[in-house]
Structure 1
């Protein structure tokens, strides 16, 4: 999806949409003169290449989950693994000028993954419990970011 409209994953707005809002707010503040240029960093932190790649990965994940019918734990975790590996590659890609996912972004991405699963009928807490992990650790096996 372009920066002109929200990217919807199930019922949630994707994290990149939140980040685009931060970039837009900063641009408005710069234009109004209420923010000094040397204090501006959002466009550097969130270049469109990073946002688009992240949108694409999350959208593919949502499509993978939506396509599952009575999924096994392995199928669900396979989809989680794929999106996390995609996000790892995005985070490490030099195309984004050194931008990547920091703590707040990581938390938003994990929350989005959890919410996408839940919106498609996956009991994330039960899945995690069957694996002997906390629901917040569902991405940890593959996550580098």
Structure 2
């Protein structure tokens, strides 16, 4: 099962906080809580949870339903990114989010390369129509 990027980010924040508390990391070297504030983590987690429910509800591998689910999650992530001054998701986070979307679809039986090909795009372009981050 694909692990939500927000869960990974939260674990990194918690690990860094534990290192600061234990004295093994200087507080001046701690930046992850600022990079991944609770508001970003919570909102991202909620958007990805909603996407998982959308994908769970897909019927008959319908392309339009799949792309509607992709659109909804991408638009939600756009809003979250905007709420964080357009800096919620940097390059690495964007790649993780796109990979998560692909993996979640795949785990639910969607042939992502075939889905993309039927739309005349590659699997790495399935979020591009809506993605601002």
TM norm structure 2: 0.94
How big is the shift at 1:99? Answer: 5.1
Structure 1 CA distance, aligned partners of 2:66 and 2:49? 15
Structure 1 CA distance, aligned partners of 2:13 and 2:52? 25
Could you give the per-residue CA deviations for residues 4-47 of structure 1, whole angstroms, max 9, x where no partner exists? xxxxxxx1221111001110111121112222211111001111
**Corresponding residue for residue 33 of structure 1:** 23
**Corresponding residue for residue 52 of structure 1:** 42
Could you give the per-residue CA deviations for residues 99-119 of structure 1, whole angstroms, max 9, x where no partner exists? 501111111110110011011
The partner residue of 2:101 within 113, 132, 139 is 113
RMSD of aligned alpha carbons = 1.4
How big is the shift at 1:75? Answer: 1.1
> Structure 1 regions of 5+ residues with no counterpart?
1-10
**Corresponding residue for residue 138 of structure 1:** 126
**Corresponding residue for residue 73 of structure 2:** 83
Could you give the per-residue CA deviations for residues 49-74 of structure 1, whole angstroms, max 9, x where no partner exists? 11111111011111011111103211
> Structure 2 regions of 5+ residues with no counterpart?
none
Could you give the per-residue CA deviations for residues 95-142 of structure 1, whole angstroms, max 9, x where no partner exists? xx7750111111111011001101111100001111121101110111
Aligned pair in 2 of structure 1 residues 27, 98: CA closer, same or farther (>3 Å)? farther
1:6-25 residue pairs with structure 2 within 5 A? Answer: 11-25=1-15
Structure 1 CA distance, aligned partners of 2:25 and 2:86? 23
